[in-house]
Amino acid sequence: MSASFVRAGVDAGGKVTAWHHRKASELATKSQDPVRFEAAGQTDFISMAGTEIKTYAIANKLSEQVAQHSGMRTIALRGIGFVHNKFVTESLLDEIAVEEGIDPVEYRLELLSGQPRARKVIEKVAEMSNWGNTPEGHGLGVAYIDYKSQVAAVVDVTVNLQSGAIKVHNAWIAIDCGLAVQPDNVIAQQMGCTVYGLGLALSESISMHQGIVEQTNFHNYRIPRMSDIPNIEIEIVHTPNPPSGAGQMATPLIAPAISNAVAASTGVRLRHMPMTPARVLQTLNRQDRPPGI
């Protein structure tokens, strides 16, 4: 469980020049790996992973954690802190691009002008998804991550305005993990990452009552079913760099890509995970929301 407050400054050309991310969350590293927690000066690098947005060319960046102490031990899931942190950062970058009237893909490419490997995966996934040619009634959303490997994703969604249900029809992933020793396994891992990401984005949630987890099995902790799985296409961008991570690289991209696709389709920004039908309807029906929120 976490909450983030993020603000950004942009120059006259719409480029981000300053970024401040403050996050409240449990100290996951303290519970999961106390030895490394102490060695790192009691820094919770698991919960804060991804807040540093190190690859984008943003001159002034600050990320801070407000530690929470509930008494419950928390540890990482697949994608570690990148999952919720990239939901925040990639959603806000997309929102800035839209407000500045710049295509979200082009906006990211500009912020990555000195990062050829990062640019290549974004260009590849834009090509795979036929970016710029959105089917009527659908929304396309993009997201990028530098997490051991360079990875970009585009998803294609529709939103049922009566029920609030989000349907993901297609997911495209491009990954540069250096020398792909086992290419088929890299592709299989990204497919698994996509399914994990779908569950975290749309349905998986834990609630507590009087210190007890309320969910008891998969009837009330809903993971994706076969009927929820979109068409998934994975492309490896082969480079001669040393092998890097493939195990959970795409998982953090799915939620922000879905959120950005929903915004492209409806004009409404979703700011909570999971993006359940009830939350979608609540956001769609808010009469006091500012433009774009």
Give the pLDDT score at 292: 44
pLDDT, tens digit, 9 for 90 and up, residues 248-282: 999 999 999 999 999 999 999 999 999 999 999 99
Query: Two tokens at 203?
Result: 């349905």
Give the pLDDT score at 211: 83
The bridge status of strand 149-159 relative to strand 166-176 is antiparallel
More confident residue, 5 or 292: 5
Whether residue 43 is contained in a domain is answered as no
Contact (Cβ atoms closer than 8 angstroms) between residue 259 and residue 87: yes
Whether residue 102 is contained in a domain is answered as yes
Q: What is the domain range of residue 233?
A: 79-284
Whether residue 1 is contained in a domain is answered as no
Whether residue 17 is contained in a domain is answered as no
Give the pLDDT score at 22: 97
d(CA 192, CA 194): 5
Q: Give, in order, the Cα–Cα distances in Å from 17 to each of 12, 60, 63, 78, 130.
A: 10, 6, 15, 31, 30
Whether residue 64 is contained in a domain is answered as no
Q: How confident is the model at residue 74 (pLDDT cuts 50, 70, 90)?
A: confident
Mean pLDDT of 44-52: 93
Q: Is the pLDDT of residue 245 over 80?
A: yes
> SS3 sequence, 251-277?
HHHHHHHHHHHHHHHHCCCCCCCCCCH
Q: Is the pLDDT of residue 130 over 50?
A: yes
d(CA 153, CA 250): 8
Whether residue 151 is contained in a domain is answered as yes
pTM score over 0.85: yes
Total structural domains in the chain? Answer: 1
231 alpha-carbon distance from chain centroid: 19
Q: Is the pLDDT of residue 181 over 90?
A: yes
Whether residue 165 is contained in a domain is answered as yes
Whether residue 22 is contained in a domain is answered as no
pLDDT, tens digit, 9 for 90 and up, residues 198-239: 999 999 999 989 888 999 999 999 999 999 999 999 999 999
Give the pLDDT score at 289: 52
Angle at 221 (CA atoms; ends 86, 89), nearest 5 degrees: 10
Q: In this structure, which amino acid lies at residue 201? A: A
Mean pLDDT of 52-81: 91
CATH code of the domain in which 203 resides: 3.30.365.10
What sign does the dihedral 160-171-244-182 (CA atoms) show?
positive
Query: Two tokens at 153?
Result: 């994703």
